[in-house]
Structure 1
Amino acid sequence: MQKPPLGWGAQEAERQREKEPESIGVPLLSKRPLLCKSKNGKDQGLLLNSSSSSHCLASTPSPSSSSPSSIPPPNLDSDGTTTMVISSFLDFQKTRYARFMNHRVPPNKRYQPTEYEHAANCATHAFWIIPSILGSSILYVLSDNQWETISAWIYGFGLSGLFIVSTIFHTISWKKRHLRTVEHCLHMFDRMVIYFFIAASYAPWLNLRELGPWASHMRWFVWIMASVGTVYVFFFHERYKLVELVCYVIMGFFPAVVILSMPNTDGLSELVAGGFFYCLGTVFFKSDGRIPFAHAIWHLFVALGAGTHYYAIWRYLYRPDSVEAKTSR
């Protein structure tokens, strides 16, 4: 049956009932949703009425909507959470320590340290200049024959030269950076000295220890390797940084195979410990822009490795009461 027509008051009450939400505090769509209109008359979305505010919903919602609310939160398991924690821990650019370093540079560019890093780079090697000269002088005084004297001079020049050249380069790079040509030449020289320092560190062991017939050629081959490394720096300086690092590591470990032919293996543990310090330092050698003061930390590991090797040379090759077998000449 058809409903009888309502009076004017009843019709007004019915319209008011349709406009009000069916539950208090929960915004619901009315029975007659309206479209939001923009100024140009285009539909923007559905109008949602509530007692306190109006909201526009997308008129044609899609399951593949890219709005932030439609993207589910990442489901991180224990491994994923651990990975994110480690990454954030190593990313010092997002910590309060970022002011101590600059951003990383492309592989073919040279990193520009901050003022803090410049000072640390100078101090961490300048501190060891005087001890290296004094230590070399002690070896010279303890020398008993010509080969010990020659080895002391070679090792002393390599050890002190490393710290002196490094300090001069970092000082010029810090205070006289406008001298581009001088800075570039000193940077190349700083890299070349590393090769000769490695060769000089092996000189006392190769010259003063008894070697096998095939290992005796390492006395000269190590200097050929240093010369090749110098030529590489001259032509390809800062062009292939990873190759340069690999060259340092190879030259550092390859002459160590001569210990297999040494009848006397005293000092082997110190040599291994020093090599460990150098290898651990290479992690920081190429971490500029990732870790604050990375290059200064590398300098400290170099000092630890050099100090350990100096102690082994002094104790097992030059100490007055040592009974090391010397190579007959």
Structure 2
Amino acid sequence: MDHTVEVPPIQPEQEWANAWTHGFSAVLWCVVGAWLVRSSAGEPGLAIACGVYAASVVTTFACSTLSHVFLEQPWLDRFRACDQAAIYLMIIGTYTPIAYAYSPAGWRIPLLTAMWVAALAGFFNKAVRMHRLHSISVVSYLLLGWLPAIPLIRNVPVELAYAMFIGGVLYSLGTIFLMNDRRAPYLHAVWHLMVLSASLVHAIGIAWYVVEPIQNSAL
């Protein structure tokens, strides 16, 4: 007896929902990122860290949008590779201003270097080598998302830890929709909205408990 489950094809309206959700996210994050950089302008190092953070998030949302707009080869695989690769940058980009502000004494440069080496290795593997392009590297995303918290958790304010935890949970729960997005319509768009929600929770935490304290101490 054949137990094969037929996977329904993705309809054009679903792809447009996927494109619009992250297209909107990219535009919104241009505003959020500009505000974070401007708010941290009094501390050049933090402003650079926030700029890297914002650029990584905007890049990820933009690549995701393009991967759902250009559906013909070879553009589909190229943008899909960039989309999957940029997630590594977004994960570590989010940690960058936090590591800048709250790394243990003497560990700022080594920690930032280690995080970015890991992110760039993942990026290269997906964007250049196009390794396992038609599968999602959820395990590596989750590991990269949670492991850098270990050396930082004792130093960050508890409120920031809560914000990062809530955002991390939203990302992690969102992967359930990502892994099952062919089982029902619009689950991939739900994943996109979970990613946007998590990114905004992280942005609020960074604005309130990274940017604001450093700016106040500089006054």
TM-score range, shorter chain: 0.7 to 0.9
Greater CA radius of gyration, 1 or 2?
1
8 Å CA contact retained: 2:81, 2:130? no
Whole-Å separation in 2 of the counterparts to 1:251 and 1:323: 31
Q: Name the aligned partner's letter for residue 7 of structure 2.
A: H
Residue in 2 that maps onto 1:103: 7
Deviation for aligned residue 1:266: 3.9
Residue in 2 that maps onto 1:29: none
Residue in 2 that maps onto 1:262: 155
Q: In structure 2, which of residues 13, 36, 57 is the aligned counterpart of residue 159 of structure 1?
A: 57
Residue in 2 that maps onto 1:229: 122
Other structure's SS at 1:310 match: helix
8 Å CA contact retained: 1:159, 1:197? yes
Deviation by residue 1:224-273 (Cα, 9 ceiling, x = unmatched): 1112212332242335x36x111111000011112234164441111110
Whole-Å separation in 2 of the counterparts to 1:187 and 1:246: 18
Residue in 2 that maps onto 1:238: 133
Alignment size in residue pairs? 211
| Greater relative CO, 1 or 2 (CA 8 Å, sep 6+) | 2
Q: Name the aligned partner's letter for residue 133 of structure 2.
A: E
Whole-Å separation in 2 of the counterparts to 1:166 and 1:237: 17
Q: In structure 2, which of residues 20, 36, 42 is the aligned counterpart of residue 139 of structure 1?
A: 36
Deviation for aligned residue 1:140: 1.4
Residue in 2 that maps onto 1:319: 212
For structure 2, which runs of at least 5 residues remain unmatched after alignment? none
**Using a 3 Å threshold, how does the CA distance of structure 1 residues 163 and 324 change in structure 2: closer, same or farther?**
farther
Whole-Å separation in 2 of the counterparts to 1:320 and 1:171: 41
Q: In structure 2, which of residues 14, 29, 43 is the aligned counterpart of residue 117 of structure 1?
A: 14
Q: Identity across aligned pairs (percent)?
A: 23
2:174 matched to 1:281? yes
Superposed CA RMSD in Å reads: 2.3
Q: Name the aligned partner's letter for residue 166 of structure 2.
A: A
8 Å CA contact retained: 1:209, 1:324? no
Deviation for aligned residue 1:298: 0.6
**Using a 3 Å threshold, how does the CA distance of structure 1 residues 139 and 263 change in structure 2: closer, same or farther?**
closer
Residue in 2 that maps onto 1:70: none
Other structure's SS at 2:66 match: helix
8 Å CA contact retained: 2:25, 2:196? yes
Which structure's residues are more often helix, by fraction?
2
Counterparts of residues 188-199 of structure 1 (less than 5 Å): 188-199=81-92
Counterparts of residues 64-83 of structure 1 (less than 5 Å): none
For structure 1, which runs of at least 5 residues remain unmatched after alignment? 1-92, 94-101, 105-111
Q: In structure 2, which of residues 185, 188, 193 is the aligned counterpart of residue 295 of structure 1?
A: 188
Q: In structure 2, which of residues 16, 21, 25 is the aligned counterpart of residue 128 of structure 1?
A: 25
Whole-Å separation in 2 of the counterparts to 1:306 and 1:263: 18
Q: TM-score, normalised by structure 1?
A: 0.59
8 Å CA contact retained: 2:160, 2:209? yes
Residue in 2 that maps onto 1:22: none
Deviation for aligned residue 1:147: 0.5
Deviation by residue 1:85-123 (Cα, 9 ceiling, x = unmatched): xxxxxxxx9xxxxxxxx816xxxxxxx521121111011
Residue in 2 that maps onto 1:307: 200
Deviation by residue 1:30-77 (Cα, 9 ceiling, x = unmatched): xxxxxxxxxxxxxxxxxxxxxxxxxxxxxxxxxxxxxxxxxxxxxxxx
